[in-house]
Amino acid sequence: MKAKLATLIFMLYVTSAFGQTASTIETKYGKPVNAYAVSESIWMTPEYTAGGQVCQMRLYPKRISPDTNYLSKQLPFKELKGVLNQLVPLNLRGAKKESFGTTATGGGAAWTTYPYEKVTFVFTSSFKIAPDSWTDSKAYVFSAGVVLSDEKPEDALPSDDDFLRSQTASTEIVTIKWNDRRCAGK
């Protein structure tokens, strides 16, 4: 009797493990996400408007491909720059907007934003904070001469050097958002 019960339990286990189908996986986890290999080591996942236009893209490092395992969690800057220029050429971005290239930080992450008239790029990177770093911190004195304004940058035209500030930032994700397009479901 115990042998029959053990066999029945084993058969149910094997059936559930090997009986998975696309529909059961989609029922449990949702529809698959389209990811495109836009370069040797970069994936891109797009989102669309209700009308089918791309409204947002996320670029992130490939971790695996059919024949390669990639160990880096960062986007190689030169390769990334080429991909960005392919996806959104300079002549389609519009003029640079205010606060171009500003960085916000918090909780071990940094977001550098490059807003243009038609599209905005957000470079995301992470960094480690030593748990006891607060014990060595010193007061920071803000300079009174720094004035933030809403004026456009002096050189408002897009250039091939616009993202150089992020070259050393170990960027892990880049989000491209079209400013005049609303993604479906958002």
Residue 184 lies in a domain: no
Amino acid (one-letter) located at 103: T
**Main-chain phi, psi angles of 81, to 5 degrees:** -60, -40
CB 46 within 8 A of CB 56: yes
Q: What is the pLDDT of residue 7?
A: 66
Q: Which residue has the tokens 């390669």?
A: 68
Beta strand 119-126 with 173-178 is antiparallel
Q: Give the Cα separation of 162 and 179 in Å (integer).
A: 18
Q: Are 26 and 32 in contact (CB under 8 A)?
A: yes
Q: How confident is the model at residue 147 (pLDDT cuts 50, 70, 90)?
A: very low
Compare 16 and 171 and report the one with higher pLDDT.
Answer: 171
Specify the residue for token string 């053990």: 6
Residue 72 confidence class, pLDDT cut points 50, 70, 90 = confident
Asked whether residue 158 is domain-assigned, the answer is yes
53 and 87 inside one domain: yes
Structure tokens at 22: 């696309």
Residue 14: give the domain boundaries: 1-30
Contact 170, 109 (CB under 8 A): no
- The confidence score (pLDDT) of residue 107 equals 82
Give the pLDDT band (50/70/90) at residue 61: very high
Residue 16 inside a domain? The answer is yes
CA distances from residue 70 to 46, 64, 128 in whole angstroms, order as listed: 22, 6, 22
**What pLDDT is stored for residue 153 in this prediction?**
59
Same domain, 37 and 25: no
Q: Are residues 9 and 37 in the same domain?
A: no
Residue 184 C-beta-side C-alpha neighbours within 13 Å: 9
Please indicate, yes or no, whether residues 106 and 164 belong to a single structural domain of this protein. yes
How far does Cα 99 stand from its chain's mean position?
Answer: 20
pLDDT in tens, 16-60: 556 688 889 999 998 888 999 999 999 999 999 999 999 999 999
Mean local confidence (pLDDT), 53-78: 85
Helix (H) or strand (E) holding 50: none
Mean pLDDT of 180-185: 92
What would the two tokens of residue 6 be?
């053990």
Picking from 46, 57, 158, 165, the residue whose alpha carbon sits closest to that of residue 112 is: 165
Are 119 and 44 contained in the same domain? yes
* Residue 29 pLDDT: 92
Quick one: 68 and 125 in the same domain?
yes
pTM score over 0.95: no
Give percent of the chain above pLDDT 70. Answer: 76
User: By the 8 A CB rule, do 105 and 86 touch?
Assistant: no
43 and 26 within one domain: no
Q: Domains in the chain: how many in total?
A: 2
As a whole number, mean pLDDT of residues 140-158 equals 59
The DSSP output letter for 134 is G
> In the prediction, which pLDDT does 90 show?
96
CA 104/CA 114 separation, integer angstroms:
12
* Share of residues in the chain with pLDDT > 90 (%): 47
Asked, for residue 186, whether it belongs to a domain, the answer is no
143 pLDDT more than 70: no
